[in-house]
Structure 1
Amino acid sequence: MSRVVVLGVFNADVAFRADRLPKMGETIHGKSFHLGPGGKGSNQAVAAARAGADTHMITRLGKDAFAEMALEIWRDAGVTPVITRHADRSTGSAFIFIEEHSGNNAIIIAPGAAASMTNADIDERAKLISEADVFVTQFEQPMGPAHHALEIAHKGRAITVLNPAPAMDMPEGMLALCDYVTPNESEAEALTGIKVVSLDDAQQAAMALVARGAGAAILTLGEKGALFHNGSETVHVPVMNAGGVADTSGAGDAFNGGLAAALARGKAPEEALRFAAATAAISVTRHGTAPSMPSEAEIQALLARS
């Protein structure tokens, strides 16, 4: 089976739905509340596993109820946990506001134990990382371990995928370790200074990321789909229609997990892009983040009719 290794964070998602965010000092009535599993790394690992990849998740957890939630969702999805647990720190958590009429979201994260990850955590798992078919990371955990893990994966056999979220400055040369970098519009703007509104903007931003060293850039563009550029070829994949939009909060993670699973099977970039787009399209028809990730059979069914 194709192997995906993800370095990242698990967060317990505390999600509120309301017509709008309250103003400072204001209290408003919400439409609903939900507590469930999330965190970009964890969501991507769940998505990759449900999409058919042998998936391993590297992180730190606390010794609390939220950690048990993480282990349960990974067990159900088929993710192998590669973790340490720490009694002196909490497991990560996230506040998610979901706008009732649109499904759009705003998020605050507190990574907890995962914020204390170091390069030593990575060195202990160097063999697993270097021998992966695909290695994926983001920026919810500290930058140092993400950079170090990309170095190990790049030197090994792994295809490297960096989802630069949340967007922040990265060390010089880090993009050169990435076979794929996968920002959304706002992250691409933060990294390149190019405001991404149109497909032309997206191509310019992708070209800028490749010029800085990335092997290829894939920009996720919401309702405009996704755009791939590798320096010589540009491919646009429109958004797929899997039904009405219920919640967009897991879409980017679904895309990255689906992309990793497809690349791990040796799919060409355009085919992997379509697989990732289908994964994301199904996820937004459901509430929640990790619980919204579709199975491989569901993804293939959507691709067959799209």
Structure 2
Amino acid sequence: MNGVVVFVPSPLLTITIENHGTQPDIHLHAGGQGVWQSRMLVTLGSQVTMCAVLGGETGHVLRPLLEAEGLTVRYVEGSGRNGSYVHDRRRDTREVVAEALAMPLARHELDQLYDMTLSASLDASAVILSGPAGDDTIPAGIYRRLAADLRATGRMVVVDLSGERLAAALQAGVDVLKVSDDELMADGRLTRSDTGAIIEAMYHLHEEGASRVVVSRAAEPALALDRGEVVEITVPRLQAADTHGAGDSFTAGVTVALTRGASFHDALRLGAAAGAVNVTRHGLGSGDVESILKVRDLVEIAPWPREHTGTRLSPQELARRAQGE
């Protein structure tokens, strides 16, 4: 077994307007969380199979764009359309021109997508469950069922989810959870964003079913929990062209490393480097592999709290020390 399967219920068609000299430059790409994860997985040399639903005019346009990404695309013909957006970046910021969410998937489409994902996963080492573009696209319970069945067959399950989908996946248990502090705040799992509160939330997520937890914090060092140890991940601060897609690149880097037998700390280094390099580019989920590997060597991982000497501390003590920093 090798490679990674990415569950992408409904990819996006992205249309971005940029400047090219004095003329507008219009870019069409496949996008969305799972696509950006897949793109970085391919960049890092992983064999990737994407399982998705493609329908409508947007789906017809997406198909060749996805196949050009260097991954294997397995898809269900959808009766509705995929989502899409038009963003204007001619002023160096993203201005939303128009956005259209994907249509909800029909029951038979959900069944086909589920069976397709399960079948493809039996030939892979790991599966990333990514979220759809739109709350109504797919029922949250699909994530619980998929996570349970994938773990029952011995697959490593990585999720980058929030809200009801995260709660559903945790019911079945996951091997790695990647989430941002903003998402935890929006879900009500955080009422404040200080380090102590985040550490407490990480332990709660572990108790709910996540074996390992990674929380990204925008420009602040990410935090990770594994086997009762909390670590802080620090990367060189690079100049950002676009911060979108950094978290998805982080997830991809961690997953690639773990499928190759790396330690969790080494996986965190590769993930953090992939996310850091991604922000220097306009292409989401992209990066130069040589740059990523060089930045990886500069990533620092330190136990939390920093004076930690090997004695395992309780979640309450970790939180208390973090609040007093």
What TM-score comes out, normalization by structure 1 length?
A: 0.80
The residue type equivalent to 1:122 in the other structure is Y
Is the contact made by 1:196 and 1:205 (CA closer than 8 Å) also made in structure 2? Answer: no
C-alpha distance in 2, partners of 1:231/1:109? 42
Matched ranges for 1:14-33 at <5 A: 14-15=15-16
Is the contact made by 1:226 and 1:237 (CA closer than 8 Å) also made in structure 2? Answer: yes
Is the contact made by 2:74 and 2:116 (CA closer than 8 Å) also made in structure 1? Answer: no
Most deviating of 94-103 and 147-156: 94-103
- What SS does the corresponding residue of 1:229 show, helix, strand or coil? strand
Query: Of 141, 155, 161, which residue of structure 1 is paired with 2:152?
Result: 155
Is the contact made by 1:175 and 1:214 (CA closer than 8 Å) also made in structure 2? Answer: no
- What SS does the corresponding residue of 1:266 show, helix, strand or coil? coil
Higher relative contact order (CA 8 A, sep 6+): 1
Aligned to 1:23: none
Aligned to 1:274: 269
C-alpha distance in 1, partners of 2:104/2:168? 27
The residue type equivalent to 1:89 in the other structure is G
Aligned to 1:13: 14
Deviations 1:189-208, CA, capped at 9 Å, x for gaps = 24453135233232121111
Q: CA 1:43/1:139 → structure 2, altered by over 3 Å: closer, same or farther?
A: same
C-alpha distance in 1, partners of 2:232/2:284? 25
* Percent identity between the two aligned chains: 21
Query: Of 220, 223, 236, which residue of structure 1 is paired with 2:219?
Result: 223
C-alpha distance in 1, partners of 2:4/2:90? 33
Aligned to 1:110: 101
Is the contact made by 1:92 and 1:113 (CA closer than 8 Å) also made in structure 2? Answer: no
Query: Of 141, 145, 152, which residue of structure 2 is paired with 1:144?
Result: 141
Aligned to 1:24: none
- What SS does the corresponding residue of 1:81 show, helix, strand or coil? strand
Deviation of the 1:127 alpha carbon = 2.9
C-alpha distance in 2, partners of 1:71/1:246? 27
Query: Of 252, 258, 279, which residue of structure 2 is paired with 1:257?
Result: 252
C-alpha distance in 2, partners of 1:137/1:54? 16
Matched ranges for 1:196-211 at <5 A: 196-211=192-207
The residue type equivalent to 2:180 in the other structure is N
Query: Of 233, 237, 240, which residue of structure 1 is paired with 2:233?
Result: 237
Aligned to 1:81: 73
Matched, 1:36 2:33: no
Deviation of the 1:175 alpha carbon = 4.2
Larger Rg: 2
Deviations 1:205-239, CA, capped at 9 Å, x for gaps = 11111121211111111111321113511111013
Is the contact made by 2:11 and 2:35 (CA closer than 8 Å) also made in structure 1? Answer: yes
What TM-score comes out, normalization by structure 2 length?
A: 0.76
C-alpha distance in 1, partners of 2:220/2:97? 20
Aligned to 2:302: none
Matched, 1:55 2:48: yes
Deviation of the 1:278 alpha carbon = 0.6
Q: CA 1:80/1:230 → structure 2, altered by over 3 Å: closer, same or farther?
A: same
C-alpha distance in 2, partners of 1:223/1:107? 28
Deviations 1:25-63, CA, capped at 9 Å, x for gaps = xxxxxx987543211111111111111111110001125
Q: CA 1:214/1:120 → structure 2, altered by over 3 Å: closer, same or farther?
A: same
Q: CA 1:279/1:188 → structure 2, altered by over 3 Å: closer, same or farther?
A: same
Is the contact made by 2:141 and 2:165 (CA closer than 8 Å) also made in structure 1? Answer: no
- What SS does the corresponding residue of 2:52 show, helix, strand or coil? strand
Deviations 1:226-268, CA, capped at 9 Å, x for gaps = 2111351111101333x31011111111111222211211211
Deviations 1:52-77, CA, capped at 9 Å, x for gaps = 111110001125355434533x4443
C-alpha distance in 2, partners of 1:102/1:238? 26
Deviation of the 1:182 alpha carbon = 1.0
Query: Of 118, 129, 141, which residue of structure 1 is paired with 2:121?
Result: 129
Matched, 1:287 2:287: no
Deviation of the 1:271 alpha carbon = 0.9
RMSD (Å), alpha carbons: 3.2
Aligned residues: 287
Most deviating of 227-236 and 296-305: 296-305
C-alpha distance in 2, partners of 1:127/1:169? 22
